[in-house]
Amino acid sequence: EIFFRTREEYDQNPQIDYQDKLSSLQKAASSKLGMSAQEVLDTAQALYEKKLTTYPRTDCQYMASAELADAERIVAMLRQVPGLEDVAGGCDLTLKSAAWDDGKLGAHTALAPTGDAPSGLSEKEAQVYGLIATVYCLQFYPAYQYQAQKLTLDCQGTWVARGQTVIEAGWTARQADDEEKDEDSGQALPELAKDAPVTCAGVEQQEKRPVRPPSIRKVHLSRTWPASIASSPIPPQKRS
């Protein structure tokens, strides 16, 4: 029997991700590209010296609002870069994420493309540049909209089932097929009313490792740059 059911809608805005600091970029490149921390640093430094990206040793995850004036030029350039055409083509420059915040700037701004067109890059340079450019583009994507569902039911004891139904994929549409997914957040629950009878086919206890809270998400990249980005926790906003 269904004791209780809730359904609430939320907006999850694009994550700022490793625009914040070099260490997060190093972690992502190490996990998916097999690059050492030193290799990532050397590669990011090379991109900086070629004037393709901003200062790599930043510990800031925000950009100056004045830099928004360069967004149209930067995105237009990225649309011409092989492998970046799709993600850059999906940018809506009327949108912007929380990454532009003058009140949270440090000695250096977030790691981002400068707008100069890349050419003659090594394989590693192209991969790291793709990561940085993709995160930049996702700041101009719509929010991920979903309905969070919760069922409390009596089935040889009291159980709670949680799930999500995607309303609008938004920026998460860029996630890779091979990226790990939260099982609870990825499933939709059936339409069941309170006090509705249910049939218990069986109960099985499974031991699993703890997972991160759903408010801490990942941005997933296309297979062109097989790396994920450890994201900053930006709580989803309940839709009114």
- The contacts of residue 149 (CB under 8 Å, 6+ apart) are 5, 6, 7, 162, 163, 164, 165, 188, 189
Radius of gyration of the chain (CA): 21
For residue 230, what is the DSSP state?
E
Which amino acid belongs to residue 96? K
Q: Quick one: which of 229, 235, 239 has its CA closest to 26?
A: 229
Strand order in the sheet with 237-238: 158-168, 144-154, 2-12, 237-238
Q: Are 165 and 19 in contact (CB under 8 A)?
A: no
Tell me how far apart the terminal alpha carbons of the chain are, to the nearest angstrom: 30
Active-site annotation holds for 146? no
Q: Which of 55, 136, 144, 146 is flagged as catalytic?
A: 55
Distance CA 17, CA 149 (A): 27
> Which residues are annotated as catalytic?
55
